[in-house]
Amino acid sequence: MSEWLLKGGRVIDPATERDEIADVHIADGVIAAIGKSLQGVGAELIDAQGAVIAPGFVDLHTHLREPGREDEETIASASAAAAAGGYTAICAMPNTDPVCDTSSVAEKVWALGRELGLVDVRVAGALSRGLEGAVMADIGEMARSAARVTMFTDDGHGVQDSLFARRTMEYLVAFDAIYAEHCEDAALAAGGQMNEGDRSAALGLRGIPAEAEELMAARDIALAKLTGCRLHLLHISTAGTVELVRRARAEGARITGEATPHHFTLTDAALETYDPLMKVNPPLRSDDDVAAVIRGLADGTIDAIATDHAPHAVEEKDQEFGYAPPGMLGLETAMALGITELVAAGHLDLPVLIELMSTRPARILGLDAQGSLEVGSAANVVVFDPVARWTVDASSLQSKSRNTPFHGREVTGRVMHTFFEGRPTVLDSKVLSEATT
């Protein structure tokens, strides 16, 4: 196992409340030491002056597309994209083909991730068989499987049947597992293409009202209180949902929530070009919603930045707006958008961004080896230049798909190196296809 000495970076670790210029010594897969003027005899040296050294990022919401749509993304290409984006753990959504509603699919995805060794691939299991919202998936078996699934969701669909939601929450309590909801009332959202408001009226596209999200968020919060189940709200996109979480949290409910980079960066004004790359679910919202999501991230109401990385084939995205599937890539641009839109824009500080991208999502998933630079813990580390400017280029992404809405956008903040369990997966912004030992 190789040894590394990262010299003179700004070490930011929200878990241990460290924020100082120091060296980080990585040996035997763990953080061996952090301090001034460390001598790592025999260690490979990395000059980290001017850079930030932080715990690797943890994405709660990644669509891997394997099994089923390996033309769009594979566990290998998503792992490479994750490493390039500074991630050391990702959580795979279950809307694959077959759906991840059994322990055999969950274990297969988890094991393939481990074999690749670029990032810890955790798995979210489906709540219902086939994501149909009617019959419970093999939740207990997935929880007890080698994949040790702790988060369950029918992401892509909201659970419409309130009794099914209640019964599933009651069952999940036995495993202290998380019920994660894609909040969307199907009847209210039916046929919708974008956020409902002045802009959808002007563009002549059918809208999805904020209430489609907020009604289900309110229902789930009520059911989480009733059952005692842990609830996680996926891709929060409206001011009303942020407020619901804020209130429920103040009352002591066990609720967490995430927001995506596109929901804090883009508004529904982006739809004016009718560009299918701007189509996503939940849709890009109003200026007021975006401001509320940013406030929620800054004041801690929203726990995590999650990408909802959703690869789609060029031929499927590149068609008339109404026919294009919703979804955007996210893994390789999330940190830079966080720095550009949140930190540089003055909404929050770098340590808070790192908390939102690493420490808090790691805690939600219960990943002890992630989200911290504590000495003795697994060396899952990202080193990034917080001021480097670069232009997003869809053609140079690690992902197999190209559907980023940020192509051509100038952003600040670049991942330089990523270490997963003590081994570099990215060095000098280049992904090492075979993680070196």
Residue nearest to ligand DOR (CB): 327
Residue choice 153, 281, 286, 359 for contact with ligand DOR (CB under 6 A) = 281
Sequential DSSP letters for 375-414: TTSB--EEEEEEEEEEE--GGG-SSS----TTTT-EEEEE
Among 327, 338, 351, 405, binds ligand DOR (CB under 6 A): 327
Burial of 41 (0-12, 13-18, 19+ CB in 10 A): exposed
Query: Which residues in 231-245 are b (16+ Cβ under 10 Å) and which e?
Result: bbbbbbbbbbbbebb
Structure tokens at 226: 């009733």
Residues numbered 31 to 70 that lie near ligand DOR (CB under 6 A) are 63
Burial (0-12, 13-18, 19+ Cβ within 10 Å), 49: exposed
Indicate the SS3 state at residue 426.
Answer: strand
Sheet of 57-62, strand order: 57-62, 87-92, 120-125, 151-153, 178-181, 230-233, 255-259, 304-305
Q: How far is the CB of 228 from ligand DOR (least distance, A)?
A: 27
Radius of gyration of the chain (CA): 21
308 labelled catalytic: yes
* Least CB distance to ligand DOR at residue 95 (A): 5
Phi and psi, residue 414, nearest 5°: -135, 130
Residue placing its CB nearer to ligand DOR in the complex, 52 or 271: 271
| Closest CB 310 distance from ligand DOR, rounded Å | 4
Residue 86 makes contact with ligand DOR by CB under 6 A: no
Contact residue for ligand DOR among 112, 172, 266, 280 (CB under 6 A): 280
Residue of 278, 180, 289 lying closest to 241 (CA atoms): 289
Q: Which is nearer to ligand DOR, 63 or 166 (CB)?
A: 63
Residue 195 is a binding residue for ligand DOR (CB under 6 A): no
Q: Please tell me whether residue 155 binds ligand DOR under the rule CB under 6 A.
A: yes
Residue 192 binds ligand DOR, judged by CB under 6 A: no
**Residue with Cβ nearer ligand DOR (42 or 191):** 191
Task: Tell me the number of residues near ligand DOR by CB under 6 A.
Answer: 12
Work out how close the CB of 400 gets to ligand DOR at its nearest, in angstroms, rounded to a whole number. Answer: 14
Residue 326 C-beta: closest distance to ligand DOR, Å:
4
| The one segment of 101-109, 124-132, 270-278, 321-329 that binds ligand DOR by CB under 6 A | 321-329
The single residue of 185, 289, 308, 385 carrying the catalytic annotation is 308
CA angle, corner 80, sides to 418 and 104, nearest 5? 115
- Residues lying near ligand DOR in the complex (CB under 6 A): 63, 95, 155-156, 182, 280-281, 308, 310, 325-327
Catalytic residues: 308
